Structure 1
Amino acid sequence: MYSKIALASVLFQAARGQQVGTNTPETHPALTWETCTAPGSCTSNNGKVVLDSNWRWVHSAAAGSYTNCYTGNTWDATLCPDDVTCAANCALDGADYTGTYGVTATGNSLKLNFVTGTNVGSRNYLMKDDSNYEILYMLNQEFTFDVDVSNLGCGLNGALYLVSMAADGGLSATNKAGAAYGTGYCDSQCPRDLKFIGGKANVEGWTPESNSANSGTGNNGACCAEMDIWEANSISAAYTPHAGPASLTICDGDACGGTYSSNRYAGDTDPDGCDFNSYRQGDTTFYGPGMTVDTTKVFTVVTQFLTDDGTADGNLNEIKRFYVQDGTVIPNSESTIPGITGNSVNTDYCQNQPTVFNDTPSFENKGGFASMTAGLKAGMVLVLSLWDDYADSMLWLDSDDPATGDPTVPGIARGTCATTSGVPSDVESSQASAYVTYSNIKVGPINSTFAAPATKRSVLGAAAGRPQRRAVL
């Protein structure tokens, strides 16, 4: 939701390099997923995954040279005196997915280890083929997957989400790596920690982070719409639309807004989003170990993107959530906060939440559901990641945020984790063996991706702006 810091090892920090290295062959792990037309009627797709370029080794592109272009959290001044020269001088290399990054794909399952050697976490994308990301069109569709978060404690985030990236990763004359090497990332935080953006390096104005030996920020940021289908650990979970441009927009300095700028709301994107976190919405016994959704066991997450006319040409006006565990369909929890009703993200919910919680209405201010409609209609790329948070220690997900806030004030408490938890150095030491597993990814029309007992199905009445009734689980 707030920050997606790309933290990797000293020798394997990199990003959108112009050239392609040959030291390590790039072999994308195979990952199958399904498209469905009705429950039990699904077709398997032979997809792949690719590691984001910000985790990769970037080195001199000169023949026979493997001098690092980026070491620790600083650039080589000779190879990278400016953005354009750096992109021309540096090559992005292939990845040892399991050995170096802890990324293992088996059939329809993707396991992401947290600490592997000196590498921490990873960000990966679903691919259509070896040169292109899979583009998902989710209006009037549902997205379903199984997840195991039992090994994710406080301060960790196993995140599965959609962003408005280009299918080819921004392949161009100045970016010869493209999607094959995980380039082109953007999100609603307009991240400025990316080493290369738009085919150029981000070296100009680069400032190493004081609390991270591997990260820094440059002048430029990469902005676009973001749909957080799933951000979670074993303690708390949230799903959150973030308004923004339907394709990569490059921003400059503090005008970017988001996590990396002094003015969080200065940019064109919505950094906060309209989140549904059951704990934050008042139900403190719904999600967690031994609770209604028992996070000690695998469960299925169903997210439905409903439109005002029940077609893919309509306008997004509601995002619904269901869970399935041990053969039982579990509706999302109801908000118990006075002034915020319901168990889904819709226009009324997103207008009422910032008022009641005394938050900035950034989702509405940056375009709200109209913006998300444009992003989903243009198609978005699926991201599968595991990360810890150098900006806010993940308190926004699983603790009190701000840490000095009164947890009895609506909107402050988001989970049971202590406000002292989530410090990356502690998390990386105490939870080094943590992992998340995503599996059984399915996409299809509403109510097509899972079997549900007929008694569990219901019909939603016409919501504001919805001219017809439609069957939804």
Structure 2
Amino acid sequence: MSYRLALALIPFAVTYAQQIGTLTPEVHPPLTWQTCTAPGSCTTVNGKIVLDSNWRWLHSSAGSTNCYTGNTWDKTLCPNDATCAANCALEGADYAKTYGITTSGNSLRLNFVTASAQKNVGSRVYLMADDDSYQMFNMLNKEFTFDVDTSNLPCGLNGALYMSAMSKDGGKAQYAGNKAGARYGCPRDLKFINGEMDIWEANSISTAYTPHPDDKVTQSRCTGDACGGTYSADRYAGTSDPDGCDFNSYRQGNKTFYGPGKTVDTNSVMTVVTQFLTNTGTESGTLSEIKRFYVQNGKVIPNSVSTIAGVPGNSITDSFCDSQKKVFGDSNGFKDHGGLANMGNAFVKGMVLVMSLWDDYAANALWLDSSYPVTADPAKPGVARGSCSTSSGVPAEVEANSPNAYVVYSNIKVGAINSTFSGTLVPGGGTPPVGGTTTSTKITTSAGTTTLKTSTTSTTSAKPTTTSSTGGTVAFLKGKIYLEFYHN
């Protein structure tokens, strides 16, 4: 059996129920993180991670017969969805040996290819509050900070850290047949149903951050092509924005900002800071701007400024997104699905932190690190997203040539604006933290926590400165089985 996420062939048994296997105990690896309520005041939280159920062994609940092998369901165990749900169980995970997933203190490492009795490719894990509940986040008027090492991620790989709208218990309470719930990493695919905030999608060549709003923040179902997204005949048929509004520095014209030896040097570990600012400067306000900073070698580096004519700015705002979609000639699903306001509504409902490493069988990750679409003129604004060749990223080649690739996420902090990072602001290149007019910013570290000290020529406003339940369905499409899970 090969442990791989294949969105076109996800076990549909968990649509109706999740039975629990008994062959391997499920022991969640610990992972600490911090909450910061003010500069210099951070508290360590003892969290855990859980492996996504799409990577787990699904077998007969009465034995060890695979319910699913290769691309085929066992016809005896799974003649239909309801029978399959009753007959099949999700097994516990040997995180390190089978999946190449290890933790140490506040650090999580995900290996790309792991060879044991079977071959495992990539992984996806969720942050938990306890053994039966996901850790829920509302990021309005807060910032999310983490360290990441992308130096070992070549073209075609995506080390992704994002927040997904999901049920705290994985739908266990809402659906009586769901016996596994969050404990066994109940997922929700398609990824863009009910909202997703891609804080970080990256390899050593390119990076992007992308909000995906949804019309709904409550649990919902869809069937077949009506779901939209990658595996539907109409990508834009669903209630959510499959494209989102991305900020990729290379795509926005700065080709020297991110990468090996560049301003943000991917040869070294970096700290990534993302601020979710509201129109009132309070948690009850409406999400109005998403800002990005990097910290490396003691320097706070503002996000690069777009050099694309007609698309000003270095942060994500509704105005930036409208301009970008117009100039790039892209469909403005972001606006159609409520923009930043609806992204903020998903935060109010609560979102789950997801960390993953994967290769892309749909588009070879060219949308991240190369020119895409490949038939378009690379000189056209918005087409070039990175320096990788359009022939790169083929999964079979990436797996054969870079099996030892890995990503490390560490030192996760969540808290008040400007409370989670330290360094000296690099002048130029973008607006300072939170907005306002800043002449000098010094962020110092004290006793393992962070303190921000700023002298300004004018008062920094709290209002940001604008730079310009688990369910599921089985759909039979083009002779294949597609399953989507949705969590609020």
Find the residue that maps to 1:420 and give its secondary structure. Answer: coil
Cross-structure match for 2:41: 41
Alpha carbons of structure 1 residues 454 and 432: separation in structure 2 relative to 1, 3 Å: closer
Query: Equivalences for 1:39-438 in 2 at 5 Å?
Result: 39-62=39-62, 65-117=63-115, 118-171=119-172, 172-189=175-192, 223-244=193-214, 245-438=216-409
Partner of 1:219 in structure 2? none
Contact conserved, 1:164 with 1:187, CA < 8 A, in 2?
A: no
SS in 2 for 1:426: helix
Q: Distance in 1 between matches of 2:29 and 2:191?
A: 27
Please say if residues 225 and 247 of structure 1, whose CA atoms lie closer than 8 Å, have aligned partners that are also in contact.
no
Q: 2:221 aligns to what SS in structure 1?
A: strand
Matched, 1:469 2:461: yes
Please give the alpha-carbon distance, in whole angstroms, between the structure 2 residues aligned to 1:420 and 1:92: 37
Given that residues 307 and 316 in structure 1 are in contact (C-alpha distance below 8 angstroms), is that contact kept between their aligned partners in structure 2?
yes
Is the 1:113–1:435 Cα contact (8 Å) retained in structure 2? Answer: yes
In the other structure, the counterpart of 1:21 is 21
In the superposition, the TM-score normalised over structure 1's length comes to 0.87
Shift of 1:33: 0.2
Q: Deviations over 1:16-75 (max 9, x none)?
A: 35210010000000000000023332100000000000000011112xx11111111111
**Residues 260/248 of structure 1: CA separation in 2 closer, same or farther (3 Å cut):** farther
Q: Structure 2: how far apart are the matches of 1:303 and 1:15?
A: 37
More displaced stretch, 433-442 vs 71-80: 71-80
Deviation at 1:249, TM superposition (A): 2.3
- Gap regions ≥5 residues in structure 1: 190-222, 463-467
Cα RMSD for the two superposed structures: 2.1
- Give 2:440's aligned residue: none
CA separation of 1:455/1:18 partners in 2, compared to 1, >3 Å: closer, same or farther?
closer
SS of the counterpart of 1:354?
A: helix
3-state SS in 2 of match to 1:396: helix
Shift of 1:160: 0.1
Q: Quote the residue 2:457 is aligned against.
A: none
Q: Is the 8 A contact 2:99 2:114 kept in 1?
A: yes
| Alpha-carbon distance in 1 for matches of 2:124, 2:296 | 27
Distance in 2 of aligned mates of 1:429 and 1:250: 38
Name the SS of the counterpart of 1:241 in structure 2. strand
The gaps in structure 2 that reach 5 residues or longer are 438-459, 466-488
Shift in Å, 1:347:
1.1
2:481 maps to: none
Question: Does the Cα contact within 8 Å between 1:13 and 1:56 map onto a contact in 2?
Answer: no
Match of 2:435 in 1: 460
Partner of 1:383, secondary structure, is strand
Q: How much does 1:452 deviate?
A: 3.7
Amino acid in the other structure paired with 2:179: K
Moved more, 71-80 or 105-114: 71-80
CA distance in 2 between counterparts of 1:459 and 1:90 reads: 51
- CA apart distance, 1:459: 5.9
> Secondary structure of 1:351's match?
helix
Shift of 1:471: 8.0
Q: For residue 470 of structure 1, give the secondary structure of its aligned residue in structure 2.
A: coil
Change (3 A) 1:455 1:470: farther
> Equivalent residue for 2:441?
none
Q: Which amino acid aligns with 1:329?
A: V
Q: What secondary structure is seen at the aligned counterpart in 1 of 2:346? A: helix
Judge conservation of contact 1:187–1:224 (CA < 8 Å) in 2: no
DSSP 3-state at the match of 1:91? strand
Where does residue 196 of structure 1 map in the other structure?
none
User: 1:77 deviation in Å?
Assistant: 1.2
Give per-residue Cα distances to partners, 1:416-440, cap 9 Å, x unaligned. Answer: 0000000100011111000000000
SS at match of 1:384: strand
Alpha carbons of 1:261 and 1:455: their partners in 2 closer, same or farther (altered >3 Å)?
closer
Equivalent residues, number? 427
SS at match of 1:249: coil
Shift of 1:85: 1.4
Partner of 1:198: none
